Amino acid sequence: MKNKHLEHIEDHVLTGRQGALDAIKFLDTKQSQVSVKYDGAPAIVYGTNPENGKFFVGTKSVFNKRRVKINYTHTDIETNHGHIPRVASILHICLDRLPQNDGIYQGDFIGYGGSDTHTPNTITYKFDGVIDDIIVATHTQYIGATIQELDAKFHYRESKSYGVHFIDTGASISNRHFRLSLLITLAKTVIPFIKFPESKDIPQLKVNINSYIRSGQTLDADKLASDTGYSRNLFHLYNMIIEIKELLMEGITTTENVQCLFDSVPYEHEGYVMSNKYGTFKLIKRQQFSYANFNNRQFR
């Protein structure tokens, strides 16, 4: 599995009764790995290609099925990404500076260094002091014999390297809100009374929900039911999972202390990635961050 797109845990509710039960079990599990989801851009994939032993850098286009864009040289970068100068510039410096270790890794580019403040995308990150090196938040390691067969190992922490400041993306759940157990019990009670979507309707339901978030609307269960034709109970459960998720997020602490700002105002991290035996999902306060991100994109 490639780390190209992680699902929001609440969206798993839309996949059916078992998906809803698994979402609840995922949030209720005490033994979970957590890491910070940094709002960097672009995503950087780098490492040694196991098929030829050559070091490369790239974006998520390394994982393309048709036109695979792997850059072994600066000429490759210009050929594949020269039409997007900012991305090409970042890849050039990454090719020169990222450690040429065995394995393949993925991270988010935060900044070129030379300052204590960097705004790679929507969130501005302020560090305790000036960082002279390029800044990368590496979070995933890949294992496999070929690029197309790679499996992701989430929550990877990169070691120190000359010329690169690797952010420690580690995090942990330090406490659990007292209301979590009550809400989880209530969510389980609601499930038998819900008619879940057919698989063919799920993509459109996600579009409907994202359109609400993009426009800053509350995810009102009655209005969503009217717009989609599905029971309000489905969207009540959806909102309940969001509430459980956000209460869980309140108890997460990060290993590295980095101040987050949005429009010069103190802000929260974009979110977290959490894994346990029920899967790997992203935990994001979508009606805060995703709304800002939908309406403040620099590039994708």
State the residue range of the domain holding 94.
43-169
DSSP three-state, residue 40: coil
The amino acid sitting at 190 is V
Residue 300 lies in a domain: no
Q: What is the pLDDT of residues 207-229, one digit of tens each?
A: 999 999 988 899 999 999 999 99
What integer pLDDT is reported at residue 3 of this predicted model?
55
**CA 133/CA 56 separation, integer angstroms:** 20
Residue whose token pair is 């489905």: 234
Does 192 share its domain with 281?
yes
pTM over 0.95: no
Question: What average pLDDT does range 134-146 have in this prediction?
Answer: 96
Q: What is the pLDDT of residues 240-251, one digit of tens each?
A: 999 999 999 999
Contacts with 64 (C-beta within 8 Å, 6 or more apart), sequence order: none
The alpha carbon of residue 3 and the mean position of all alpha carbons in its chain are separated, in whole angstroms, by: 9
Does 186 share its domain with 250?
yes
**100, 134, 169: which is the final residue of a domain?**
169
Residue 4 lies in a domain: no
Residue 1 lies in a domain: no
Number of domains in the chain: 2
CB count within 10 Å of CB 204 equals 11
Residues in the chain: 300
Instruction: Look at residue 300 and tell me whether its pLDDT is greater than 50.
Output: no
**pLDDT, averaged across the chain:** 93
Does 57 share its domain with 144?
yes
Residue 2 lies in a domain: no
Phi, psi of 116, rounded to the nearest 5 degrees: -100, 0
**CA 158/CA 70 separation, integer angstroms:** 21
Residue 94 lies in a domain: yes
Question: What average pLDDT does range 171-185 have in this prediction?
Answer: 94
**169, 204, 226: which is the final residue of a domain?**
169
Q: DSSP label at 52?
A: T
| Band (290; pLDDT cuts 50, 70, 90) | confident
For the chain, percent of residues with pLDDT exceeding 90: 88
Does 183 share its domain with 101?
no
